């Protein structure tokens, strides 16, 4: 499932259509995910607050009105797709990280957002609904390795392979043993033309002597690389590429 966040709609911004699309997609996010609201702490810092009672009532309502839920969600998706065609820059600007990959304090203690229902998410902490091709094991760390987190950070900055290019990845957040990267993929032409952003979570589990890792697309249903469900997608290949690079260093 996905972690979701209901944003306030700002009618003064240029992404008016996208905000409208978000509004109509809200029933779908309530049905398929845990719902959070963005609030402010006493220090005025934004925080995510879960409302379990609202979640339960919302899911019951979404299921009871399932046809309307599906129609509303699809309508919202169509509006957002239209907004992206008018202004392709919205695809990069849009903060899906607050919608389906929301970060909470759980991330910093090594608990990732749940695995998405779509087959463009790979998570070493949970099995995918889509079978073994969409699962990933944690990355084992040799006992004799010193400062494995620094080793992994260096790999993220230097690996250049067909499935993992260091030039495409950016470190957005570091908190203790937790790292949050974004991976940007640009398709210059064709029906999938656009810029796509994936989130990559990494956590050093010192107790289990391994790295937990998660890679998930922010948009769409399937990895843009191909539509063949008998082969792993870009997120799985990305994790396996960094695993291979780490194992090569470990064996030296």
Region 174-195: mean pLDDT is: 80
To the nearest whole number, what is the mean pLDDT of the chain? 76
Region 169-187: mean pLDDT is: 86
- Residue 196 and residue 224 in contact, taking contact as beta carbons nearer than 8 Å: yes
Better-predicted residue by pLDDT, 186 or 36: 186
pLDDT given at position 231: 74
Q: Are strands 2-6 and 33-40 parallel, antiparallel or unpaired?
A: parallel
- Residues for the chain: how many in total? 252
Of 55-59, 134-138, 227-231, the one with minimum mean pLDDT is 227-231
Q: Is the pLDDT confidence value at 189 over 60?
A: yes
For the whole prediction, is pTM greater than 0.85? no
pLDDT given at position 226: 55
Q: Is the pLDDT confidence value at 90 over 90?
A: no
CA distance 105 to 203: 13
Q: Is 121 exposed, middle or buried (0-12, 13-18, 19+ CB in 10 A)?
A: buried
* β-strand partners of 178: 175, 203
CA distance 33 to 100: 8
Helix (H, G, I), strand (E, B) or coil at 172: strand
Q: Which of 200, 1, 210, 205 is nearest to 110 (CA)?
A: 205
Tell which CATH architecture fits domain 115-251: 2-Layer Sandwich (3.30)
In degrees and rounded to multiples of 5, residue 94 shows phi and psi of -60, 130
pLDDT given at position 93: 47
pLDDT given at position 54: 63
Would you kindly state where each structural domain of the chain is located, as residue ranges? 2-98, 115-251
Better-predicted residue by pLDDT, 76 or 213: 213
Residue 114 structure tokens: 């749940």
CA distance 116 to 32: 9
User: What is the percent of the chain where pLDDT is above 90?
Assistant: 22
Q: Is the pLDDT confidence value at 147 over 60?
A: yes
Confidence of residue 57 (pLDDT cuts 50, 70, 90): confident
pLDDT given at position 13: 45
């Amino acid at each position: 499932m996905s972690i979701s966040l209901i944003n306030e709609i700002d009618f003064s911004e240029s992404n008016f259509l996208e905000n409208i699309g978000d509004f109509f997609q809200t029933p779908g996010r309530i049905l398929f995910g845990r719902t959070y609201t963005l609030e402010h702490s006493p220090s005025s810092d934004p925080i995510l607050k879960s409302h379990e009672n609202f979640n339960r009532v919302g899911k019951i309502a979404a299921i009871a009105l399932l046809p309307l839920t599906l129609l509303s969600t699809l309508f919202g998706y169509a509006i957002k797709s239209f907004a992206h065609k008018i202004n392709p820059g919205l695809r990069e600007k849009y903060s899906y990280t607050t919608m389906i990959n929301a970060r909470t304090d759980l991330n910093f203690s090594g608990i990732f957002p749940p695995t998405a229902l779509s087959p463009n998410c790979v998570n070493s902490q949970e099995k995918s609904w889509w079978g073994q091709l969409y699962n990933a094991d944690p990355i084992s760390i040799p006992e004799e390795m010193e400062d494995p987190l620094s080793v992994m950070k260096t790999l993220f900055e230097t690996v250049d392979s067909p499935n993992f290019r260091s030039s495409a990845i950016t470190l957005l957040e570091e908190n203790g043993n937790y790292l949050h990267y974004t991976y940007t993929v640009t398709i210059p032409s064709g029906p999938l033309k656009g810029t796509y952003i994936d989130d990559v979570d990494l956590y050093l589990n010192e107790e289990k002597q391994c790295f937990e890792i998660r890679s998930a697309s922010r948009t769409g249903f399937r990895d843009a690389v191909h539509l063949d469900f008998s082969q792993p997608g870009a997120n799985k290949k990305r994790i396996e590429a960094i695993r291979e690079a780490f194992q090569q260093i470990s064996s030296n």
